[in-house]
Amino acid sequence: MFGSNDKGKIMRVPAHTLISGQTEISGDIRFAGELIVEGRIHGNIYADDESGAVIRVTETGVVEGGIWVPSAVINGLVKGDVHCVKHIELAAKGIIMGDVYYTLIEMVMGSEVNGSLMHIARAQQEAGRLAAAPGNALSFASEYRERETRHDNVENE
């Protein structure tokens, strides 16, 4: 225990972030590990596509903005597009008001998508990664943020 020879070893614990039901956040969020949303977020949510990051929007959770993550479990309300390069699960009370871009999708009876479902082919994933600059941790997310920014700039002109 205290006298062991494991002093140089650091235990790696996945990061868990909880946005509780009484919390409201305005602004973009970048995370690693697991993000659990029980409260309300006004802004976009990003995680590195190559990570094992997962967002969980619970029954009381609301996200007003886009989501770019490897994996997601949605059982609350999302008002915006959802981009999952690995897996998305829509639970019974999950509602997405926007388009869903996915590689693997699981929908439980009762879930809703008020938008388009678009499958991301493996070739599109690779093209997205190759187009991103080397060393860019948020390759897929960065590509979509740039498109959104250009779109917003055109609308504001």
147 assigned to some structural domain: no
Q: What is the mean pLDDT of residues 22-31?
A: 96
The pLDDT of residue 22 = 96
* Tokens of residue 92, six digits: 């019974």
pTM of the model: 0.72
User: From residue 9, how far is each of 2, 32, 33, 156 by CA, in Å?
Assistant: 13, 21, 20, 52
User: Which of residues 103 and 129 earns the better pLDDT score?
Assistant: 103
**Tell me, what amino acid is at 142?**
S
140 assigned to some structural domain: no
136 assigned to some structural domain: no
Band (127; pLDDT cuts 50, 70, 90): low
- Cα angle: 71, vertex 56, 111; to 5 degrees: 90
The pLDDT of residue 51 = 82
34 contact partners, CB below 8 Å, separation of at least 6: 14, 15, 16, 17, 53, 54, 55, 56
Domain range for 85 is: 16-120
Q: Over 50: is that where the pLDDT of 13 sits?
A: no
9 assigned to some structural domain: no
Distance CA 157, CA 37 (A): 34
Tell the residue number behind the tokens 């039901």, with chain if given.
Answer: 21
Distance CA 36, CA 73 (A): 9
148 assigned to some structural domain: no
Task: Kindly state the percentage of the chain with pLDDT values over 90.
Answer: 62
Q: Over 60: is that where the pLDDT of 33 sits?
A: yes
The pLDDT of residue 147 = 56
92 phi/psi in degrees, rounded to 5: -55, -35
The pLDDT of residue 138 = 47
Task: Kindly state the percentage of the chain with pLDDT values over 70.
Answer: 68
Number of domains in the chain: 1
126 assigned to some structural domain: no
Band (10; pLDDT cuts 50, 70, 90): very low
Q: What is the mean pLDDT of residues 45-60?
A: 92
Q: What is the CA radius of gyration of the chain?
A: 17
8 assigned to some structural domain: no
Band (142; pLDDT cuts 50, 70, 90): low
115 assigned to some structural domain: yes
The pLDDT of residue 15 = 79
Q: Over 80: is that where the pLDDT of 79 sits?
A: yes
